[in-house]
A and B are shown apart, each in its own frame.
Chain A
Amino acid sequence: MIPAQFSYRRAASVSEALDLAAEYGEDAKFLAGGHSLLPLMKLRLALPEVIIDIGRLRDLSYITDGGDHIAVGALTRHHDLEHSELLARELPLLAHTAGQVGDPQIRHRGTIGGSLAHGDPASDLPAVVLALDATLVARGPAGEREIPSGEFFDSLFETALQPGELLTEIRIPKPPVRGWSFQKFTKRAIDWAIVGVAVQGNAVGLVNMGETPLRATAAERALASGAGLTEAAALAAEGAHPSADINASREYREHLARVLVGRALEEAATRA
């Protein structure tokens, strides 16, 4: 299968990418690693007229220590996150989870920014940036703005990014509580999570438990008010509206969320 016809434009700089985006408007799509967009284009579920390849913007691929936070360039590949010593030390949750995305080949191409901007609730990294209270930095015609991760995921495959806006950096505060865990429940290793849970301290992010990645706020509130792990885990699916598909009914997803949040909180506690 091959994509429908489109024009390919390669951006040599962020400003050129933004110019191209402004020029083509809603007909254009940014292409980073391409591992979210190209599969949809091959199935002709996405039909952009113009592809703006931002894959060569090497200056958007970095992981740096900003003192109180870690800054990750949007075009940093999953593979580089997975093998970053800085992340292993400061944000092991992100490094570990990046190593769970897709398969090795996909991790050689896929980028954190592409994954977040795609806004797929079944992706692993969105729930992680939620649990890490990250800030997403976007650049557009009107300049740069910061979007808290909690306000980034709007609805299914929709994010707060405006047309013509490019996600450039993910800023992640160094977590005050060290304990972390990522629980990905799949039929096969290669599959998207049926349910996934990212825990950093008392923050709990959920994968594939609704139209967007989300926080398990009821469980978090319980933890904050001193509830035990088991008690908090029992509230993991409160407020979530997971969908049903061939892998899981809604009820099963809710059950898995409770089980996995329980396991994640326990594991995080051992790492605190």
Chain B
Amino acid sequence: MKVELTVNGELVAADVEDRMLLVHYLRDVAGLTATNVGCDTTSCGACTVLLDGESVKSCTLLAAQADGASVITVEGLADADGTLHPVQQAFREQHGLQCGFCTPGMVMAIVSLLRENPHPTEEQVRSGLEGNLCRCTGYHNIVKAALAVGRLSGQESTAAENGSAL
């Protein structure tokens, strides 16, 4: 079937198998490979993207279900001039990533979390990340990164997060 998505502000359209998962649409059709597959059971969160502004696990969504929606992946977060999104910046400053495999999903989960709760406590960050596994960092610096962004006052959500064009 034909599936049309706005991915990071750009229209992508393709005829795909009815059963194609959104994550494969993003990786194989849109060519955006930052979003990873880490499990088969909706457990690890490596495939997390924003669908119409909210975090979802793109391995547990048919591309067809997302037809017509706006998707933001980690590739769509930074400004066109390369300026990192505050969450990306905080990950770098706090050493919130090691091998980088869980990172795109983890960053998108935190972007969504902070939109819903801009100034979370450590406990809220930790429970907000219950669906994202990391095997390298022990979560310590990931949590620090999320808290660091949460402490920045007056953080506005960016155009990208809202699903609009960059």
Contacts and interface: CB of A to CB of B under 8 A. Distances in A.
Interface string A68-79: 000000000001
A109 B59 CA distance: 12
B17 interface: yes
Interface stretch (B5-13, B50-58, B83-91, B145-153): B50-58
Interface residues of B, number: 34
Nearest to B127: A189
B114 to A, nearest CB: 12
A177 interface: no
Nearest to B132: A103
Given A7-B18, A105-B48, A105-B109, A190 B131 contact: yes
A190 B132 CA distance: 9
A189 B130 contact: yes
Nearest to A7: B18
Nearest to A99: B127
Interface string B2-34: 000000000000000111110010000000000
Given A39-B60, A42-B40, A190-B43, A5 B55 contact: no
25 contacts: A2-B24, A5-B19, A8-B1, A34-B61, A38-B60, A39-B40, A42-B41, A53-B62, A55-B65, A102-B42, A103-B130, A103-B131, A104-B112, A104-B113, A104-B131, A105-B48, A105-B55, A105-B56, A105-B112, A108-B51, A108-B55, A108-B56, A109-B57, A109-B60, A189-B127
**Nearest 6 CB-CB pairings of A with B:** A103-B131, A8-B18, A1-B40, A189-B130, A108-B54, A190-B130
